[in-house]
Structure 1
Amino acid sequence: MAAPEGKLKAGRRPNRRGEASRKRVLDVALRLLASGGPEAVSVKLIAKEADVTWGTVQYQFGDADGFWAAAILHILDTAGPRVWAHPLAGSVEGRVAEVIDLLWKAFDSPYNAVVTNLRASLAKDRIELERSYPRTAEALDALEDNWLKQFREFFDGVTVDPGTPAKSARCCPQRFGASTPSVVSGRTSISMTPLPAFARRSPFT
């Protein structure tokens, strides 16, 4: 996964020392957002934990909206194989089984907790999010687009009915931050019967 270039990149372009500081702040942000509740959605708290000043955060990210957008894009820079992987199976059935397993890992990952926490804490709905945190909303869209793109590409190299990837895509919610992965086990006609062992457990219990 790689963060998109261009207008989504928040704040100033730092030098090498600034890059290290910026990465440290974003790493702390992901750790706190993944492990904490709504109280963790605080730029000042994250800055304090990262041992930087609010002025440093403003210089590097612009404002709170720029900071949350950068934190979300940092997922694209760091998630990698912890959330996704290259397919191994050569059959459609094997790819579907691998996708379901990857979805469970994604839902159970700290990155999903980060997005869930931000979505729940920053705004009550999409309209409010776009109004109050437009760059954050745009970064969430970029994350979703990247997620779905990699999902579709997972079926490259195997001969499938044109509708199969679309049916499989219904296995996953439209974005990170979904409250439950129950769709994995029941919303598509090509899901496995009986369910494999990993799909009979819930990472949220």
Structure 2
Amino acid sequence: MSTNNSGAGVSLPVQERAWNTRVRILDAALSCLVELGYAATTVAQIQARAGVSRGSVLHQFPSRDALLVAAVQHVAAKATTEIAAQPEFAPGPDAIDSGVERLWATMQGPLFAATTELWVAARTSPELQAVLEPQERQLGRAIREPIARMFGTEISSSPHFGELRTLLVSSMRGISLTYAFAPRDPSTEPHLEIWKRLARRYVQSGG
């Protein structure tokens, strides 16, 4: 009995170390993907940046593509959790405009850059497509509620909010892609005012 208790006592630190190693690997993979791009990112570079052995990487991830997709999903999950933990934004005259600005802000930074690398690479890689597609569908479902929280209950309860959300996300992703070759201040993006007008009309007129 005492042996079993002793074993249970040491299992948690082992699990914590394994989880910490996994997080280091995922963080290293994301930074490599953003800085070097998909084609130039290798398992060797990831393991060196994470400070772990190659065996530690391959033990947790069967392939480079699986690792890179997991890294993007890991960061997306953290961002989603952070948004969900924030208090819901109160309704007001500027709630729609603020919601559009908050949604646009999520299209900036390393997460979108890394995701773009995978999207482009998947076009010519059936192996990456097979790994990425189900994860993208899962992420699409996971971000619906956080986006609704950005706008607040009053706006997100509009019968056509789902259509508006899809339209805004699709359009913002397309515009964000142009920042890869034409960097600029996203706060001055001309489409921001277009998206805000569109959102107001959609919510206020019911579609």
Query: Which TM-score band applies after superposition, normalised by the shorter structure?
Result: 0.5 to 0.7
Count of residues in Structure 1 that have an aligned counterpart in Structure 2 = 174
Q: Give the aligned partner of residue 198 of structure 2.
A: 190
Unaligned runs of 5+ in 2: 1-13, 179-188, 202-207
Judge conservation of contact 1:172–1:183 (CA < 8 Å) in 2.
Answer: no
Q: Give the aligned partner of residue 139 of structure 2.
A: 143
Sort the Cα spacing of 1:150 and 1:77 in 2 relative to 1 into closer, same or farther, 3 A. closer
Distance in 2, Cα, partners of 1:100 & 1:29: 30
Secondary structure of 2:198's partner? coil
Aligned partner of 1:132: which letter? E
Judge conservation of contact 2:24–2:50 (CA < 8 Å) in 1.
Answer: yes
Q: Give the aligned partner of residue 154 of structure 2.
A: 158
Distance in 1, Cα, partners of 2:171 & 2:140: 7
Distance in 1, Cα, partners of 2:159 & 2:50: 48
Does residue 89 in structure 1 map to residue 90 in structure 2?
A: yes
Sort the Cα spacing of 1:21 and 1:54 in 2 relative to 1 into closer, same or farther, 3 A. same
Distance in 2, Cα, partners of 1:185 & 1:94: 13
Judge conservation of contact 1:73–1:143 (CA < 8 Å) in 2.
Answer: yes
Larger radius of gyration: 2
Distance in 1, Cα, partners of 2:113 & 2:195: 23
Q: Hey, which of these two has a bigger chunk of helix by percent? A: 2
Distance in 1, Cα, partners of 2:109 & 2:153: 27
Distance in 2, Cα, partners of 1:164 & 1:102: 16
Following superposition of structure 1 onto structure 2, how do residues 11-30 of structure 1 map, counting pairs within 5 Å? 15-30=15-30
Does residue 179 in structure 1 map to residue 177 in structure 2?
A: yes
TM-score by length of 2: 0.66
1:101-148 Cα offsets, whole Å, 9 max, x none, are 11221121211111112222x32x2xx55x312223222222222223
